[in-house]
Amino acid sequence: MTGTEPAAAEREWLVDLPAWSARVSQLEALAADAWPEHVTREWAWGGSTGAGVRVCVIDSGIERGHPAVGEIDGAVVVLRDDDGTTRTEPDEEGDVAGHGTACAGIIRALAPECSLHSVRVLGGGMTGRGLVLVDGLRWALEQDFDVISMSLSTTKPEFASMLSGLVDDAYFHRVVLVASAHNRPVESYPWHFSSVVSVGSHDQDDPLAFFYNPSPPVEFFARGVDVDVAWSGGATLRVTGNSFAAPHVAGICALVLGKHPELTPFQVKHVLYRTATNVHER
């Protein structure tokens, strides 16, 4: 205590609940709209097209007007200057590698009416710098997207703490962040953080088949083997990798939020668990 008499409002607070507390009556009111006893896929996203949901793909860019993607609603590129600083500006070039278009096409196929946005952080060789990745994610969070899909990661530990803080910010600000696990058995980020929806791949053909994994850090497995995807120049390509599993889950998240926009990331994760192919009641 400083010896200074607190104001009346402060005195009232001091004898009320501690910080980060709530009255039971408030919590009961928040839970008034109870979920059904069985969280089915029909309840979770039946009839949804992703309309009204803003999805951001952080990758190598998106090819505008690709037949499998259509028009997108915004695109920026994060550039690194010679002095090491980064800047974000409108992306006039689009996809420089094909990878981002592939991810966007998967999301569009599942959630055809979602709003798609691109943040380009990778170059033509599918390489990038950790600081560019960090600043690309930071920029995306500032735009209040509903879903962010990241099919990339960094193995460099010096960026881990930066990304950890950002993905926690996303979680607490109601942004569902979906990230692919690394294709090799290495520790990389941000998929390794628990506040992220982390995704590996399976070999089934059904784009809506996804599996809960009871042995994290990978939480879900989605289609990612021999997938026909959109690619640069209006083309298609058959590909394999966890990169292409993550946008399947991002698209499903867009469907869920299109029908239930009030859900938090914690609740979206719960819906994914309850509706996973190896969990949900048929």
The CATH number linked to 153 is 3.40.50.200
Catalytic residue among 59, 91, 95, 146: 59
Give domain status of residue 5, yes or no.
no
Active site residue 99: yes
Residue 29 domain flag? no
pLDDT at 2: 46
In a domain, 222, yes or no: yes
- What pLDDT does 33 receive? 61
In a domain, 184, yes or no: yes
Counted domains in the chain:
1
For residue 38, being part of any structural domain is answered with no
pLDDT value of residue 11: 47
CA of 282: how far to CAs of 38, 44, 105, 172, 267, in Å?
Answer: 10, 14, 28, 32, 21
pLDDT of residue 30: 59
206: annotated active-site residue = no
Q: Which domain holds residue 170?
A: 46-275
Provide block-wise average pLDDT over 10 residues at a time, the chain (282 residues): 49 64 70 77 97 98 96 96 89 96 98 98 86 96 97 95 96 97 95 97 98 96 98 96 98 98 97 94 54
- What is the model's pTM? 0.91
59 catalytic per annotation = yes
pLDDT for 129: 87
Half-sphere CA count of 138, side-chain side, radius 13 A:
15
In a domain? residue 155: yes
Identify the residue whose tokens are 């993607």.
69
- Which of the residues 66, 99, 182, 202 is marked catalytic? 99
Output DSSP code: residue 189.
Answer: B
Domain assignment present for 254: yes
Per-residue model confidence (pLDDT) at position 222 = 98
Joined tokens for residue 41:
């896929």
* Per annotation, catalytic residue among 48, 118, 232, 243: 243
Tell me what pLDDT residue 8 has. 53
Residue 36 lies in a domain: no
Taking the C-alpha atoms of residue 73 and residue 57, their distance in angstroms, rounded to an integer, is 12
**Run of H or E including 255:** helix 246-259
Cβ-based neighbour number of residue 213 at 10 Å? 15
